Amino acid sequence: MKVLILGGGQLARMLVLAAAPLGIRCQVVDPAAESCAAEVAPWHRIEWAALPEHRELLAWADVITYESEFVPTAVLSALATQHKVAPSAEVLQLSGDRWHEKQWLSRLGVPVAPHRCIDSLADLQAATAELGFPCFLKWRQQGYDGKGQWRLQAESDLAAVWQAAQGRPAILEAGIAFEREVSLIASRRAGGELVCYPLTENRHQEGILIHSRPLRDDPLQAAAEAHARRLMQAVNYVGTLAIEFFVADGQLMANEVAPRVHNSGHWTLEGAETSQFANHLRAICDWPLGSPQLLAPTLMLNLIGSWPAESLALAEQGAHLHLYGKAPRPGRKVGHLTLRASSEGELMSRWLRVQTILARRSAAPLP
Protein backbone atom coordinates (compact mmCIF):
# COMPACT_ATOMS: atom_id res chain seq x y z
CA MET A 1 0.00 0.00 0.00
CA LYS A 2 1.06 3.59 -0.68
CA VAL A 3 -0.12 6.44 1.51
CA LEU A 4 0.18 10.17 0.88
CA ILE A 5 0.15 12.14 4.12
CA LEU A 6 -0.94 15.78 4.05
CA GLY A 7 1.00 17.63 6.73
CA GLY A 8 4.62 16.97 7.60
CA GLY A 9 4.91 17.41 11.35
CA GLN A 10 5.63 14.91 14.09
CA LEU A 11 2.32 13.13 13.56
CA ALA A 12 3.32 12.41 9.97
CA ARG A 13 6.77 11.33 11.16
CA MET A 14 5.28 8.82 13.59
CA LEU A 15 2.80 7.59 10.99
CA VAL A 16 5.68 6.91 8.59
CA LEU A 17 7.60 5.00 11.27
CA ALA A 18 4.52 2.89 11.99
CA ALA A 19 3.87 2.34 8.29
CA ALA A 20 7.26 0.84 7.38
CA PRO A 21 6.85 -2.45 9.31
CA LEU A 22 3.43 -2.90 7.72
CA GLY A 23 5.02 -2.65 4.28
CA ILE A 24 3.23 0.65 3.66
CA ARG A 25 5.20 3.30 1.78
CA CYS A 26 4.53 6.95 2.54
CA GLN A 27 5.17 10.33 1.00
CA VAL A 28 4.48 13.61 2.74
CA VAL A 29 3.17 16.98 1.53
CA ASP A 30 3.63 20.18 3.52
CA PRO A 31 3.93 23.76 2.25
CA ALA A 32 5.94 24.82 5.33
CA ALA A 33 9.64 25.67 5.10
CA GLU A 34 10.62 22.50 6.92
CA SER A 35 9.17 19.08 7.69
CA CYS A 36 10.37 16.80 10.44
CA ALA A 37 8.86 13.87 8.53
CA ALA A 38 11.35 14.49 5.71
CA GLU A 39 14.01 12.50 7.57
CA VAL A 40 11.99 9.32 7.14
CA ALA A 41 9.94 9.81 3.94
CA PRO A 42 10.03 11.82 0.71
CA TRP A 43 8.67 15.30 1.42
CA HIS A 44 7.05 17.51 -1.22
CA ARG A 45 6.86 21.21 -0.46
CA ILE A 46 3.64 22.09 -2.24
CA GLU A 47 1.13 24.84 -1.48
CA TRP A 48 -2.23 23.28 -0.64
CA ALA A 49 -4.01 25.11 -3.45
CA ALA A 50 -1.53 23.69 -5.97
CA LEU A 51 -1.84 20.10 -4.76
CA PRO A 52 -4.62 18.98 -7.17
CA GLU A 53 -2.26 19.75 -10.08
CA HIS A 54 0.29 17.21 -8.86
CA ARG A 55 -1.48 14.38 -10.61
CA GLU A 56 1.42 11.94 -10.67
CA LEU A 57 1.95 12.18 -6.93
CA LEU A 58 -1.76 11.82 -6.24
CA ALA A 59 -2.06 8.85 -8.58
CA TRP A 60 0.87 7.18 -6.81
CA ALA A 61 -1.15 6.94 -3.60
CA ASP A 62 -3.64 4.20 -2.79
CA VAL A 63 -5.04 6.45 -0.10
CA ILE A 64 -4.58 10.08 0.94
CA THR A 65 -4.75 10.96 4.63
CA TYR A 66 -3.99 14.06 6.68
CA GLU A 67 -2.29 14.81 9.97
CA SER A 68 -2.88 18.54 9.81
CA GLU A 69 -6.23 20.25 10.17
CA PHE A 70 -4.87 23.19 8.17
CA VAL A 71 -5.43 21.49 4.83
CA PRO A 72 -8.22 23.55 3.20
CA THR A 73 -11.38 21.46 3.01
CA ALA A 74 -11.99 22.70 -0.53
CA VAL A 75 -8.67 21.14 -1.59
CA LEU A 76 -9.49 17.91 0.20
CA SER A 77 -12.92 17.78 -1.42
CA ALA A 78 -11.35 18.29 -4.83
CA LEU A 79 -8.92 15.40 -4.21
CA ALA A 80 -11.76 13.18 -3.00
CA THR A 81 -13.52 13.37 -6.37
CA GLN A 82 -10.78 11.22 -7.90
CA HIS A 83 -8.90 9.63 -5.00
CA LYS A 84 -9.58 7.74 -1.81
CA VAL A 85 -9.31 10.26 1.04
CA ALA A 86 -9.60 9.14 4.68
CA PRO A 87 -10.82 10.56 6.98
CA SER A 88 -13.19 12.35 4.62
CA ALA A 89 -13.22 16.02 3.67
CA GLU A 90 -16.64 16.26 5.31
CA VAL A 91 -15.12 15.26 8.65
CA LEU A 92 -12.43 17.91 8.36
CA GLN A 93 -15.07 20.49 7.54
CA LEU A 94 -17.04 19.57 10.66
CA SER A 95 -14.10 19.42 13.04
CA GLY A 96 -12.00 22.20 11.51
CA ASP A 97 -14.46 24.93 12.47
CA ARG A 98 -15.39 25.22 16.14
CA TRP A 99 -18.89 26.42 15.34
CA HIS A 100 -19.64 23.54 12.96
CA GLU A 101 -18.05 21.14 15.39
CA LYS A 102 -20.24 22.22 18.29
CA GLN A 103 -23.35 21.96 16.08
CA TRP A 104 -22.31 18.48 14.94
CA LEU A 105 -21.68 17.29 18.49
CA SER A 106 -24.93 18.77 19.80
CA ARG A 107 -26.95 17.31 16.92
CA LEU A 108 -25.67 13.84 17.87
CA GLY A 109 -26.42 14.28 21.54
CA VAL A 110 -22.86 14.76 22.71
CA PRO A 111 -22.90 17.37 25.50
CA VAL A 112 -20.83 20.51 24.91
CA ALA A 113 -20.25 23.71 26.90
CA PRO A 114 -22.70 26.59 26.37
CA HIS A 115 -21.39 28.63 23.45
CA ARG A 116 -22.26 31.40 20.99
CA CYS A 117 -21.15 32.28 17.49
CA ILE A 118 -19.21 35.57 17.42
CA ASP A 119 -18.77 37.78 14.38
CA SER A 120 -18.51 41.23 15.97
CA LEU A 121 -17.72 43.02 19.19
CA ALA A 122 -21.48 43.48 19.63
CA ASP A 123 -21.93 39.68 19.41
CA LEU A 124 -19.19 39.29 22.01
CA GLN A 125 -20.84 41.80 24.35
CA ALA A 126 -24.22 40.09 24.05
CA ALA A 127 -22.73 36.61 24.49
CA THR A 128 -20.69 37.44 27.58
CA ALA A 129 -23.81 38.96 29.10
CA GLU A 130 -25.52 35.60 28.58
CA LEU A 131 -22.71 33.17 29.41
CA GLY A 132 -20.99 35.15 32.17
CA PHE A 133 -17.34 35.14 33.22
CA PRO A 134 -14.87 33.55 33.01
CA CYS A 135 -15.37 32.54 29.40
CA PHE A 136 -13.21 31.86 26.35
CA LEU A 137 -13.09 33.44 22.94
CA LYS A 138 -11.73 30.97 20.37
CA TRP A 139 -11.17 31.39 16.66
CA ARG A 140 -13.46 29.12 14.72
CA GLN A 141 -10.54 27.98 12.60
CA GLN A 142 -6.77 27.51 12.76
CA GLY A 143 -6.21 27.66 16.51
CA TYR A 144 -4.06 25.01 18.20
CA ASP A 145 -1.97 24.53 21.36
CA GLY A 146 -3.65 27.51 23.02
CA LYS A 147 -3.10 29.79 20.02
CA GLY A 148 -6.21 31.67 18.88
CA GLN A 149 -7.77 31.40 22.36
CA TRP A 150 -8.34 34.12 24.93
CA ARG A 151 -9.67 33.93 28.45
CA LEU A 152 -12.07 36.70 29.41
CA GLN A 153 -12.31 37.55 33.08
CA ALA A 154 -14.50 40.64 33.05
CA GLU A 155 -16.32 43.02 30.74
CA SER A 156 -13.29 45.29 30.72
CA ASP A 157 -11.36 42.57 28.76
CA LEU A 158 -13.71 42.58 25.78
CA ALA A 159 -12.29 45.31 23.57
CA ALA A 160 -8.66 44.23 24.03
CA VAL A 161 -9.42 40.56 23.40
CA TRP A 162 -11.52 41.33 20.33
CA GLN A 163 -8.61 43.34 18.97
CA ALA A 164 -6.12 40.56 19.77
CA ALA A 165 -8.41 38.14 17.93
CA GLN A 166 -8.24 40.46 14.91
CA GLY A 167 -11.98 40.33 14.51
CA ARG A 168 -11.79 36.84 13.01
CA PRO A 169 -14.87 34.58 13.16
CA ALA A 170 -14.94 33.03 16.60
CA ILE A 171 -17.04 31.35 19.21
CA LEU A 172 -17.49 32.25 22.84
CA GLU A 173 -17.52 29.35 25.27
CA ALA A 174 -18.66 29.43 28.88
CA GLY A 175 -15.84 28.62 31.29
CA ILE A 176 -16.39 25.13 32.65
CA ALA A 177 -15.34 24.38 36.22
CA PHE A 178 -14.06 20.97 35.23
CA GLU A 179 -12.58 18.37 37.55
CA ARG A 180 -10.34 16.82 34.96
CA GLU A 181 -9.68 16.60 31.23
CA VAL A 182 -9.79 13.28 29.41
CA SER A 183 -9.64 12.19 25.80
CA LEU A 184 -10.77 9.16 23.90
CA ILE A 185 -8.82 7.84 20.93
CA ALA A 186 -10.74 5.53 18.61
CA SER A 187 -10.09 3.96 15.21
CA ARG A 188 -12.70 2.84 12.73
CA ARG A 189 -12.77 1.01 9.40
CA ALA A 190 -15.21 1.74 6.60
CA GLY A 191 -17.21 -1.42 7.29
CA GLY A 192 -17.87 -0.36 10.86
CA GLU A 193 -15.15 -2.22 12.81
CA LEU A 194 -14.24 0.14 15.64
CA VAL A 195 -11.80 0.05 18.56
CA CYS A 196 -11.59 2.50 21.45
CA TYR A 197 -8.49 3.02 23.57
CA PRO A 198 -8.72 3.43 27.31
CA LEU A 199 -9.71 6.98 28.31
CA THR A 200 -6.65 9.12 28.84
CA GLU A 201 -6.30 11.81 31.49
CA ASN A 202 -4.55 14.93 30.24
CA ARG A 203 -2.99 17.98 31.85
CA HIS A 204 -2.47 21.21 29.96
CA GLN A 205 -0.28 24.18 30.79
CA GLU A 206 -0.84 27.45 28.94
CA GLY A 207 -2.98 25.56 26.44
CA ILE A 208 -0.30 22.96 25.67
CA LEU A 209 -0.63 19.32 26.64
CA ILE A 210 2.05 18.44 29.17
CA HIS A 211 1.17 14.88 30.09
CA SER A 212 -1.26 12.05 29.38
CA ARG A 213 -2.01 8.92 31.32
CA PRO A 214 -4.25 6.06 30.19
CA LEU A 215 -6.85 5.08 32.78
CA ARG A 216 -7.71 1.48 33.57
CA ASP A 217 -11.47 0.84 33.84
CA ASP A 218 -12.49 4.48 34.20
CA PRO A 219 -16.22 4.78 35.09
CA LEU A 220 -16.73 7.15 32.12
CA GLN A 221 -15.18 4.75 29.57
CA ALA A 222 -18.52 3.36 28.34
CA ALA A 223 -20.09 6.81 27.97
CA ALA A 224 -17.08 8.12 26.05
CA GLU A 225 -17.12 5.08 23.76
CA ALA A 226 -20.81 5.58 23.06
CA HIS A 227 -20.14 9.19 22.02
CA ALA A 228 -17.25 8.15 19.77
CA ARG A 229 -19.29 5.40 18.16
CA ARG A 230 -22.16 7.78 17.42
CA LEU A 231 -19.91 10.47 15.96
CA MET A 232 -17.90 8.06 13.83
CA GLN A 233 -20.87 6.11 12.53
CA ALA A 234 -22.70 9.31 11.59
CA VAL A 235 -19.98 10.29 9.13
CA ASN A 236 -18.72 6.78 8.25
CA TYR A 237 -15.42 7.80 9.79
CA VAL A 238 -12.29 5.99 8.54
CA GLY A 239 -9.07 6.32 10.53
CA THR A 240 -8.11 7.34 14.07
CA LEU A 241 -9.85 10.19 15.86
CA ALA A 242 -9.56 11.90 19.24
CA ILE A 243 -12.31 13.49 21.30
CA GLU A 244 -11.24 15.77 24.12
CA PHE A 245 -13.65 16.00 27.02
CA PHE A 246 -13.99 18.02 30.16
CA VAL A 247 -15.30 16.11 33.14
CA ALA A 248 -17.64 18.37 35.13
CA ASP A 249 -19.94 17.09 37.86
CA GLY A 250 -18.74 13.61 36.97
CA GLN A 251 -20.10 13.93 33.41
CA LEU A 252 -18.39 14.15 30.03
CA MET A 253 -18.63 17.36 28.03
CA ALA A 254 -16.92 17.33 24.63
CA ASN A 255 -14.40 20.09 24.09
CA GLU A 256 -13.13 19.28 20.63
CA VAL A 257 -12.68 16.56 18.04
CA ALA A 258 -9.42 15.97 16.17
CA PRO A 259 -9.92 13.86 13.02
CA ARG A 260 -6.42 12.40 13.21
CA VAL A 261 -3.90 10.73 15.46
CA HIS A 262 -3.51 12.87 18.56
CA ASN A 263 -0.89 13.93 21.07
CA SER A 264 -2.89 12.39 23.91
CA GLY A 265 -2.56 9.01 22.14
CA HIS A 266 1.22 8.96 21.91
CA TRP A 267 1.37 6.69 24.97
CA THR A 268 -0.14 3.93 22.80
CA LEU A 269 3.27 3.43 21.11
CA GLU A 270 4.54 1.65 24.21
CA GLY A 271 1.44 1.30 26.34
CA ALA A 272 -1.09 -0.36 24.05
CA GLU A 273 -1.11 -3.62 22.15
CA THR A 274 -1.44 -1.60 18.92
CA SER A 275 -0.49 2.07 18.56
CA GLN A 276 -2.89 4.77 17.39
CA PHE A 277 -0.57 5.26 14.39
CA ALA A 278 -0.69 1.59 13.33
CA ASN A 279 -4.47 1.53 13.75
CA HIS A 280 -4.91 4.71 11.72
CA LEU A 281 -2.96 3.09 8.88
CA ARG A 282 -4.77 -0.22 9.25
CA ALA A 283 -8.10 1.61 9.15
CA ILE A 284 -7.36 3.67 6.03
CA CYS A 285 -5.91 0.57 4.29
CA ASP A 286 -9.08 -1.31 5.29
CA TRP A 287 -7.14 -3.97 7.20
CA PRO A 288 -8.29 -5.51 10.49
CA LEU A 289 -7.73 -3.21 13.45
CA GLY A 290 -5.40 -4.15 16.29
CA SER A 291 -6.30 -4.46 19.93
CA PRO A 292 -6.32 -1.13 21.82
CA GLN A 293 -5.68 -2.97 25.10
CA LEU A 294 -3.49 -1.31 27.74
CA LEU A 295 -0.30 -3.35 28.23
CA ALA A 296 1.10 -1.81 31.38
CA PRO A 297 0.86 1.39 33.45
CA THR A 298 2.09 4.15 31.15
CA LEU A 299 2.58 7.90 31.22
CA MET A 300 3.45 10.27 28.37
CA LEU A 301 5.27 13.55 29.01
CA ASN A 302 5.63 16.15 26.30
CA LEU A 303 9.04 17.71 25.82
CA ILE A 304 8.29 21.36 25.21
CA GLY A 305 10.86 23.90 24.09
CA SER A 306 13.88 21.64 24.54
CA TRP A 307 14.79 18.11 25.55
CA PRO A 308 16.98 16.67 28.28
CA ALA A 309 20.32 15.10 27.37
CA GLU A 310 19.68 11.57 26.08
CA SER A 311 22.04 10.20 28.71
CA LEU A 312 19.77 11.65 31.41
CA ALA A 313 16.43 10.82 29.81
CA LEU A 314 17.38 7.21 29.10
CA ALA A 315 18.98 6.55 32.45
CA GLU A 316 15.52 6.00 33.94
CA GLN A 317 14.47 2.39 33.29
CA GLY A 318 11.25 2.14 31.33
CA ALA A 319 11.75 5.60 29.77
CA HIS A 320 11.24 5.74 26.01
CA LEU A 321 12.42 8.81 24.18
CA HIS A 322 10.73 10.18 21.05
CA LEU A 323 12.39 13.18 19.45
CA TYR A 324 10.83 14.80 16.42
CA GLY A 325 13.92 16.21 14.72
CA LYS A 326 12.71 19.77 15.40
CA ALA A 327 14.89 22.66 16.49
CA PRO A 328 14.26 23.69 20.13
CA ARG A 329 12.13 26.82 20.49
CA PRO A 330 10.08 28.06 23.48
CA GLY A 331 6.60 26.53 23.55
CA ARG A 332 7.37 24.10 20.71
CA LYS A 333 6.67 20.39 21.10
CA VAL A 334 10.05 18.87 20.24
CA GLY A 335 9.46 15.34 21.50
CA HIS A 336 7.89 13.22 24.17
CA LEU A 337 8.95 10.70 26.75
CA THR A 338 6.89 7.63 27.58
CA LEU A 339 7.31 5.94 30.92
CA ARG A 340 6.18 2.33 31.28
CA ALA A 341 6.28 0.30 34.47
CA SER A 342 4.99 -2.97 35.85
CA SER A 343 2.85 -1.28 38.51
CA GLU A 344 1.22 2.08 39.16
CA GLY A 345 3.50 2.58 42.15
CA GLU A 346 6.63 2.01 40.13
CA LEU A 347 5.30 4.33 37.42
CA MET A 348 4.80 7.13 39.95
CA SER A 349 8.36 6.67 41.29
CA ARG A 350 9.72 6.89 37.76
CA TRP A 351 7.68 9.94 37.04
CA LEU A 352 8.99 11.75 40.10
CA ARG A 353 12.59 11.01 39.13
CA VAL A 354 12.00 12.09 35.53
CA GLN A 355 10.39 15.35 36.64
CA THR A 356 13.62 16.17 38.43
CA ILE A 357 15.54 15.54 35.21
CA LEU A 358 13.14 17.72 33.22
CA ALA A 359 13.34 20.52 35.79
CA ARG A 360 17.12 20.45 35.50
CA ARG A 361 16.76 20.88 31.75
CA SER A 362 14.50 23.90 32.19
CA ALA A 363 17.09 25.53 34.41
CA ALA A 364 19.69 25.18 31.68
CA PRO A 365 17.94 24.89 28.31
CA LEU A 366 19.84 23.36 25.43
CA PRO A 367 20.81 25.67 22.55
Residue numbers at the binding site for its own copies (CB under 8 A): 1, 13, 17, 20-23, 25, 39-41, 273-274, 282, 285-288, 290-291, 295-296, 307, 310-311, 314-315, 317-318, 320-323, 325, 335, 340
Q: Evaluate whether 64 touches 4 at the Cβ level (below 8 Å).
A: yes
Q: DSSP assignment, residue 294?
A: B
Task: Say what angle helices 10-19 and 276-284 make with each other, to 10 degrees.
Answer: 70
Phi, psi of 62 (to 5 degrees): -80, -30
Q: Evaluate whether 235 touches 42 at the Cβ level (below 8 Å).
A: no
Quote the least distance from Cβ 243 to its own copies, whole Å.
24
Q: Residue 141 in 3-state DSSP?
A: coil
Quote the least distance from Cβ 230 to its own copies, whole Å.
25
Q: Would you say 250 or 367 has its CB closer to its own copies?
A: 367
Quote the least distance from Cβ 113 to its own copies, whole Å.
36
Cite the beta strand spans of the chain per DSSP E: 2-6, 25-29, 43-44, 63-66, 115-118, 135-139, 149-152, 170-174, 180-188, 194-196, 200-205, 208-214, 239-248, 251-258, 298-304, 319-323, 333-340
Q: Would you say 223 or 296 has its CB closer to its own copies?
A: 296
Q: Evaluate whether 275 touches 269 at the Cβ level (below 8 Å).
A: yes
Considering only CA atoms, which of 91, 53, 52, 55 is closest in space to residue 73? 91
Quote the least distance from Cβ 339 to its own copies, whole Å.
11
Quote the least distance from Cβ 291 to its own copies, whole Å.
5
Quote the least distance from Cβ 126 to its own copies, whole Å.
49
Q: Would you say 81 or 311 has its CB closer to its own copies?
A: 311
Q: Evaluate whether 216 touches 198 at the Cβ level (below 8 Å).
A: yes
